[in-house]
Structure 1
Amino acid sequence: MHAMPSLSTTKTKRLLASIHDVGPGSERQAEQLCGLLERRLGSPRFAMLVVPDHWGDHPLKQDRAFQAKLRAWSDAGVEMFVHGWFHRDTAVHSGAAQFKARHMTAGEGEFLGLDEATALIRMTEAKALIEDIIGCPAAGFIAPAWLYGEGARAALRKAGFALAEDHWKVWDAKSDAVLAKGPVITWASRSRMRTASSLAFAALARRALPVLSTVRIAVHPGDVTKASLLDSIDLTLKRFAATHQPSRYGDLR
């Protein structure tokens, strides 16, 4: 008769959840999403992706009240990632990058076309700002729209971050070692067609992705504008919280 494997030898399945585009301009939406995630995960064991100055309209540096809120979330256990600087893409692209900029995001792939020097400046200045606010190291860097150009990837290896992720994986930002694989489950609110396709993918993911050892769920401020998206997010969190332990990205290391 074979003995059942002990918990100590069974690999933990992990659920990594995150709120993107957090900043003074998305305060109300971030609070709403924070409440939803806490209810389903049972604790503030999720991440926030902080934008220092979203589209140049919401400078975090000048908003002391929101800084205090970020610090409180961090102190409660929320992981804080640097999420670009402006989030807006102002580069001129060609080839594959042009396709990504046009079809994978609405002008928000800030780090897709940056050269290494510019990318490194924005990364390190954002890191310093956010770490000064939260009083501890940032969890890592995640490029807006999960899009990295060659300059951004080169800069990332020098910027001192522990972790990074894109649509398909999480990796060690210094060594490039892959720590988790699989698509991010996320939603889209900016058009009826994109909303429908994201709802369909989430439904498929709830059936197909439980086999993954690490499942990632990412929500955005715009998600709160549609009840259908909130319902899908809630159902998806409930599904995976039943089989995967809500975890921190840092647990992958």
Structure 2
Amino acid sequence: MPSAEFQGHLCVSIHDVAPATWELCERLLAAVSAVANVPLTLLVVPAYHGDSRDLPWYDRELACRLALGDELALHGYVHLDQGPPPRSLRQRYARHIYTKGEGEFAALTEQEAARRLALGRQWFACRGWPLQGFVPPAWLLGEGGWRALRASGLLYATTWRHFHFLQDAAPVEAPSLVYSSRNAWGRALSRQAVSWAGIGQRNAPLARLSLHPRDALDARTVRHFQRLLESLLAYRLPATKAAFACYWLDRVARPAVGEIAI
């Protein structure tokens, strides 16, 4: 395992965490822990597809993950695109074909985005859980969503290509390593693409491995990300997204006392 001084980091996240997906999330958690006990960032959807029920068993599961050192981040509020109709073929493809209509924050007004962020923050606060980060569903975030997010007081947000600091630092380019699972052909192609991308990012300051509940359904994908995780841990320090954000802001983005920023 790299030392704490090593600047190459790895963030592993599990998307779409909700009661409806928890069984598959548990399978992913077990697959990761079979390789190593690393801190994870769980991307939680408070009212996934409109289901806002309070379920004590689910809260206990998430509280247990916090106690183990994982982070809980906000991943939208309902994980459904309920914004106005797309205005171009490109928007239609991104919002309703590529993402299957789950890019919740792709086209919201600033006011509506702020309302949903507030609902998400309230959901966390009611449980006494810390919240520092936001990841838009399908990594789609429109202008209104960006404005609301920058006024939210949260520490960071991530899109597919970048790790964004919401206050006073430039983003870090860190394309996510993510699998496709729509069909066997797509899964095989994505495994190869992830392998190539991992090689290309070997010297990057941050690598991001993003897992989705449906990844647990394909044994070859599970074996692939386990091997990938093992290889990344040989030279990277695992951290939650919040921990990486604090490290980057404290040690890299902000100059030391007496140092002149150029």
TM-score by length of 1: 0.89
Q: Which runs of 5+ in 2 are unaligned?
A: 247-262
2: CA distance, partners of 1:242 / 1:178: 28
- Kindly tell me the number of residue pairs found equivalent between the two proteins: 241
Q: How does 1:2-81 map to 2 (within 5 A)?
A: 11-43=6-38, 45-56=39-50, 58-59=51-52, 61-81=53-73
Please state how far the C-alpha of 1:103 moved relative to its aligned partner: 4.7
2:129 aligned with 1:116, yes or no? no
Offset from partner CA, 1:23-60 (integer Å, 9 cap, x none): 100111111111222332323x110000111111x32x
The structure whose RCO (Cα within 8 Å, separation 6+) is larger is 2
2:100 is paired with a residue of what secondary structure? coil
Among 151, 154, 159, the alignment partner of 1:161 is 154
Match among 129, 138, 147 for residue 136 of structure 1? 129
The equivalent of 1:171 in structure 2 is 164
Q: Which residue of 1 aligns with 2:252?
A: none
**What secondary structure sits across from 1:48 in the alignment?**
strand
Match for residue 252 of structure 1 among 236, 245, 261 = 245
Q: CA deviation at 1:11?
A: 4.6
Instruction: Compute the RMSD of aligned alpha carbons.
Output: 1.8
Q: TM-score, normalised by structure 2?
A: 0.86
The alpha carbon displacement at 1:179 in A equals 4.5
CA distance, structure 2, for counterparts of residue 178 and residue 237 of structure 1? 27
Q: Which runs of 4+ in 1 moved over 6 A?
A: none
Check if 1:86 corresponds to 2:81: no
Aligned mates of 1:174, 1:128 — CA distance in 2: 21
SS in 2 for 1:41: coil
Sequence identity of aligned pairs in percent?
Answer: 26
Structure 1 stretches lacking a partner, 5+ long: 1-6
- Per-residue CA deviation, residues 98-156 of structure 1 (Å, 9 max, x unaligned), is 332145311110100111111111111111202332x2321311100110011100110
Q: Any conservation in 1 of the 2:165–2:245 contact (CA below 8 Å)?
A: no
Larger CA deviation: 192-201 vs 215-224: 192-201
Give the Cα–Cα distance (whole angstroms) in 1 for the partners of residues 125 and 184 of structure 2: 38
Conservation of the 8 A alpha-carbon contact between 1:84 and 1:126: yes
Give the letter aligned to residue 94 of structure 2.
K
| Secondary structure, counterpart of 1:195 in structure 2 | helix
